[in-house]
Structure 1
Amino acid sequence: MFDVADALRGGVEGPEHAWRFVRSFAAEWVGVPLAEGHGSRAEELGEAEQELGFVLPSCLRAGFLLLGSRDDLTRNQDPLVRPAGLFVEDGVLVFRRENQDCAFWGIPLDEAEQDDPPVVVRTPDGWIPFLDRMSTAWVELVLSETLFADAAPGRGMHDACEPPLSSLPALETAFTRVDLPDHPMWVGPDDSPVRWYAGPGCLLRRDGVEDLSRLYVRGCTDEATEGIRRSVPVRWERGS
């Protein structure tokens, strides 16, 4: 089974690496390969650029063209906005929003001409750095939105828990830390940093400091999800 930690060993090297990862992840982990029609139409992006009055950052545009219409990979919890919904706030081009508009992710316009610009997130305390490259933000978006997606029968439901400190060694032993930088959870410092773990067919995200953390998990099959639950012996919200 596809192992996210292996595929991202050494981190996201840039846009082309991000696109290769997303293609492999969609085909092998999600089980639905990217295909023609899964990206946003160039005409949609052109209309958005006309409305905004400037050309979209290249890495943002390329991601939309690749998977902008794959809602299962991009629009479950904190969705990618539609091209027509792109907007500017406080000098930031917003491309993603929390589902109740409590947070927004975007690219600062004064850095938008970079090939792989940084991404910021608007929290209750204002805009803060999120990830230093848009290519990494695309990978994080796909992982997060897949983690919280409603799965087809047999394809692994997501689960969550509040792991006690005593359970963290089991997590570190059973799963591999994914080479993505620590990044903030928009809710606040107690829910940060966000860190990713994985194993074959398994995806895990731990939010927050050790004594206040929350763990979200999903397997690519029901059996993989059950394997995660057995590996980290805690009280799970959905499972036993």
Structure 2
Amino acid sequence: MTFDVAGSATRAMHDRSAAWRFIEGFAAAWAEPIEARDGWNQADLDAAEHRLGVRLPDAMRDAYALFGKRPDLTSNQDWLLTPSELRRDGELVVFRRESHTGTSWGAALDSPDPAVVHEAERGWEPWLPHFSAACVELVLSEALFRDEAVTADREMSAVDISLLEDHFSLLPLRSPGARWFVSDDVIVREDAAQWLWARARTPEALETLAERLPGEWATD
């Protein structure tokens, strides 16, 4: 099954519904199709709201109801908190945690599809302007670390930036310190011009990546 990652991601940056269509399309092409049982029911989300004493943003409810029970999409490296694990931090709802440092992601409570912030040394800092866009980034990031997937990573070299820009399409998804590139059947994340993480749909696609970006790729 083919899936236009670049085009669908571009639409997802401007339209919450398009973000959910991206995640459904990506899951079908790169993992397994999303089914009705893969989301939390409304009673679970209502209970979380009652416990927290706030109304969850509409986009957060949408995401949890669509794919919140799919750890292969949400929790390979870091993890999406369950409704019972969501917590308040002032006017934020913390919904995701990083596996090694304990860093968290939180969503504001001020709009249906609010901004997402990331916990850093100086406190909460901007991550992405909409929760739905953060879900696209989450699913792409977790795809890089899925067990038994075709993945690779390596340190960047001086020529990698120009090669990336020559051979891949840049996604309009700019979380701090990272850029995303795609081509047919390959996704690459560049972290702070220091490290590359890649996911391919097939071993042949990974071989093509290694030809376009030669270097000492580590594979599982």
Whether 2:160 is the aligned partner of 1:167: answer: yes
Note the C-alpha offset of 1:7.
2.0
Query: How far did residue 113 of structure 1 move?
Result: 3.5
- String of CA shifts for 1:165-204, please: whole Å, max 9, x gaps: 1232222222111121x222xxxxxxxx210000111111
Give the structure 1 partner of residue 21 of structure 2.
20
Superposition RMSD on alpha carbons, in Å?
1.6
Percent of aligned pairs with the same amino acid: 36
Once superposed, which parts of structure 1, at least 4 consecutive aligned residues long, lie more than 6 Å away?
none
Retained in 2: the 8 A contact 1:204–1:216? Answer: yes
What are the equivalent positions in structure 2 for 1:44-63 lying under 5 Å apart?
44-63=44-63
Alignment of 1:28-43 (within 5 A): 28-30=29-31, 32-43=32-43
The runs of 5 or more residues in structure 1 that have no matched partner are 185-192
Output aligned runs, 1:61-210, within 5 Å: 61-108=61-108, 112-151=109-148, 156-180=149-173, 182-184=174-176, 193-208=177-192, 210=193
Counterpart mapping for 1:217-232 below 5 A: 217-232=198-213
Give 1:61 deviation, angstroms. Answer: 0.6
Are the equivalent residues in 2 in contact too, given 1:3–1:201 (CA < 8 A)? Answer: no
Name the residue aligned to 1:190. Answer: none
Could you tell me the TM-score, scaled by structure 1's length?
0.86
Deviations 1:18-65 (A, max 9, x none): 0111111111222x1111101112221111111111221110010000
Give me the TM-score of the superposition, normalised by structure 2.
0.93
Equivalent residue for 1:6? 7
Deviations 1:38-95 (A, max 9, x none): 1112221111111111221110010000000011000111211011000012432100
Is this contact kept in 1: 2:8–2:22, CA < 8 A? yes
SS in 2 for 1:223: helix
> Displacement, 1:226?
2.1
More strand by share: 2
Comparing 79-88 and 228-237, the one that deviates more: 228-237
Q: Tell me how far apart the structure 2 counterparts of residues 9 and 131 of structure 1 sit (CA, whole Å).
A: 14
Q: Please report how far the alpha carbon of residue 101 of structure 1 lies from its aligned counterpart in structure 2 after TM superposition.
A: 4.9
Write the distance in 1 (CA, Å) between the matches of 2:130 and 2:201: 27
Q: How far did 1:11 drift?
A: 5.3
Q: Deviations over 1:91-123 (max 9, x none)?
A: 321000101352100113xxx141211010001
Greater relative contact order (CA < 8 Å, ≥ 6 in sequence):
1
Unmatched 5+ residue regions in structure 2? none
Query: 2:130 is aligned with what amino acid?
Result: R
Q: Any conservation in 2 of the 1:38–1:68 contact (CA below 8 Å)?
A: yes
Q: What SS class does the counterpart of residue 84 from structure 2 fall into?
A: helix
